[in-house]
Structure formats: C-alpha cells, structure tokens
Amino acid sequence: MSTELLYLDDSYLKEFDARVVDVVDNGVILDRTAFYPGGGGQPPDTGKLIFDGKESRVVEMRREGVVHLLDGPLPEIGTEVHGIIDWERRHRIMRAHTAVHVVSGVAYQKFGVIITGNQLYEARARLDLSFENMNRELAERIIEESNSVIKRDLPVRWYYISREEFLKRPELMRVNPRLYEKYERIRVVEIVGFDIQADGGTHVKHLAEIGEIKLEKYESKGRKNKRIYITLS
C-alpha cells in the first residue's frame, strides 16, 4: 500500500492524523502524511509524531518508501499517530521553491534558458542555468525582473494533467522528461498568467509571500553552466 501524500493537494497542511503501516529500521511508514520526503532539490520536512502519550522527532525522511526517520520511541504497526510539521522551516523552503520558479520563468521566457539543477534551503536557493553568454550583470537583470514579477502578487496553483497533454507541451519540460515516464498524471505548478512547470514540491499560494529576492553570489561553473545563489528577505 502506498502512502497518501497530503502535501500534494495542500502545501499549508501543518498537522494530520495517520496510522503506522510498517516499521523500518529507526523509522515508520504511514498510511498518509503531510511530510515532504525530499526530492527535486527540495529537502525533506522535519517535525514530530505524537502517539500513546509519547513524542518522537521526525529528523529525516527517506524518499524511497516515504519512511519517517525518528529520534525517539518507535510506534508499533497499527498505532494511530498525530503528525506536526516544522511549519516555519517548511514555509521558508516553500518561499524559496516558488522563488526558483519565478527566476526560472524569467530566464526561460526572456532568454530561452533552462535550469539544469537547483538546491533549496530555508529562504535561499542555488540555481544552475544552461547559459553560455551569462555574466553577473545579466544575473542581476534576471533577479531584478523576477522581483518585478513578485510585485504583481500573482496567484499560484497546482493541479494534474494527463501524460498525453504533458508530452504535447514542451514548455513544461524544464527537466529530463524521462523522469515523468512512469506517471499517468503529471502534477504542474502554475504561476497564473506567468509560468507553468511540472513539479512535485510545495509552494506558496501568492507571490507576495516570497518576499524580495537578492542575488547573493554568481559563479561560472563552465562554458554552459552558470550558478547563482539567491536569498529572500
């Protein structure tokens, strides 16, 4: 039985109830969870599980199997648990993830450039761009334009499309399309009126929640690989 991933529909779900369906090493698998297990550059959530008058910290997640790795007592199979996300941490990561979508949207629309990699942190991120003729001045222009988009406070929504529709829309394929071959439905994240990308992570509902993006550092990592570091205020 696969775990129901509650965050896919509601990125703002802070607490939830679930049942333990398996115990693996020092972790548990639940029938449903709001904890993001990590992937796509987004780190896994942390938080805690409360059960039978006990409490254990969720210190890490294992994406394979959606295992909640615990620091504390392990509940037995069949135990009902109450999960609580470290919300402030999650929200800072959500802001960073949505900021990356804004930056990648500007880079793609203005310059035809795609992101080749990213890593998200709390209110900051690293992006790799496939951009041969990039320099720091151009990076600053991209960030300036991204902040102009944020000031429009566009709504952000997420939903599913069929694999057939996904394959007909190359603008959605900002990463290797082979990553989506096993899915019948593809989850997309849309910044309404600006950008849409296939994505399985968590995001804020309105761009104003991001705050202001600042260019922290620019690096050239090769002829066609440029790296920028951003922070959020």
Residue 93's pLDDT is what? 98
For the segment 181-199, the average pLDDT, to the nearest whole number, is 90
Q: Is the pLDDT at 111 greater than 90, yes or no? A: no
What pLDDT band is residue 223 in, cutting at 50, 70 and 90? Answer: confident
pTM of the entire predicted model: 0.94
Question: Hey, what are 128's tokens?
Answer: 């790799």
* Residue-range domains of the chain with CATH: 4-85 (2.40.30.130), 90-232 (3.30.980.10)
For the segment 195-216, the average pLDDT, to the nearest whole number, is 96
Other CB atoms within 10 A of residue 219 CB = 14
Cα-based distances in Å from 92 to 60, 77, 150, 167, 204? 17, 33, 16, 32, 10
Residue 178's pLDDT is what? 65
C-alpha span between 229 and 214 (Å, rounded): 9
Cβ atoms of 7 and 61 within 8 Å: the answer is no
Three-state DSSP class for residue 138 = helix
**Residues 141-180: pLDDT tens digits?**
999 999 999 999 999 999 999 988 888 887 777 666 666 6
- Amino acid at position 224, single letter: K
C-alpha span between 100 and 95 (Å, rounded): 9
C-alpha span between 156 and 13 (Å, rounded): 16
Residue 113's pLDDT is what? 84
